[in-house]
A and B are shown apart, each in its own frame.
Chain A
Amino acid sequence: NAGVMQNPRHLVRRRGQEARLRCSPMKGHSHVYWYRQLPEEGLKFMVYLQKENIIDESGMPKERFSAEFPKEGPSILRIQQVVRGDSAAYFCASSRTGTGSPLHFGNGTRLTVT
């Protein structure tokens, strides 16, 4: 997991608050993927971004969730007005353009909504 940095590792929010999760991809990687893992389940794809562009958001809930990957700085996954069902581990992965190499994952952010 070396190289893909996610923070914070743990995040506790009360219902109705906002959660911001950050991901810095591996050096030289310009593609970022976000995944969510609910308890006892596999990882579910949420969104795929390149710098300043959302390429595929087919796995994102339609409301309250948004993602960005600005020209400078980390990718941000934002969850507004969190609910208990948002409690999960959120993983970020990165890849380099056009290599077909496996995705490299960070250690995740565990979000707990109380």
Chain B
Amino acid sequence: DQQVKQNSPSLSVQEGRISILNCDYTNSMFDYFLWYKKYPAEGPTFLISISSIKDKNEDGRFTVFLNKSAKHLSLHIVPSQPGDSAVYFCAASLGWISNFGNEKLTFGTGTRLTIIP
């Protein structure tokens, strides 16, 4: 049962334009959402997160939007740069406070983003 879904396995975007990566989840108990970026042969690197009490969080070129009623979140990257080419994973957790300190994450299957120069 895939509780976190990334339905687009790949996405190509022109350099300088906006990249929008989407993620859907099914478990309404998820309380905290994260985006990780992964290069080949490396581990995932944390990018940005959002808690369920917010609907938007921004950090530089990266903005995450959360629509709880639709169980949907998205990551916007603007402007897109060649170094953004990587696999992006959406992840969710039950929230470490309500889950007694357990911060385990449920990951989507990833979206491979390619920025075209």
Contact = CB atoms under 8 A, between A and B. Distances in A.
Interface stretch (A11-19, A40-48, A65-73, A75-83): A40-48
Contacts of B70: none
Contact of A56 (B97, B102, B109): B102
Please classify the interface of chain A as helix (H, G, I), strand (E, B), loop, or mixed, using the class held by over half of its residues.
strand
A104 B96 contact: no
A104 B103 CA distance: 11
B42 A107 contact: yes
A31 interface: yes
Most buried by B among A40, A103, A106: A103
Contacts of A85: none
B106 A100 contact: no
Interface residues of A, number: 29
Given A43-B89, A104-B46, A48 B104 contact: yes
**Nearest 10 A/B pairs, CB to CB:** A105-B43, A42-B107, A102-B46, A42-B109, A43-B107, A100-B96, A1-B43, A107-B43, A105-B44, A45-B104
Interface of B: 4, 6, 32, 34, 36, 41-46, 49, 89, 95-97, 101-110
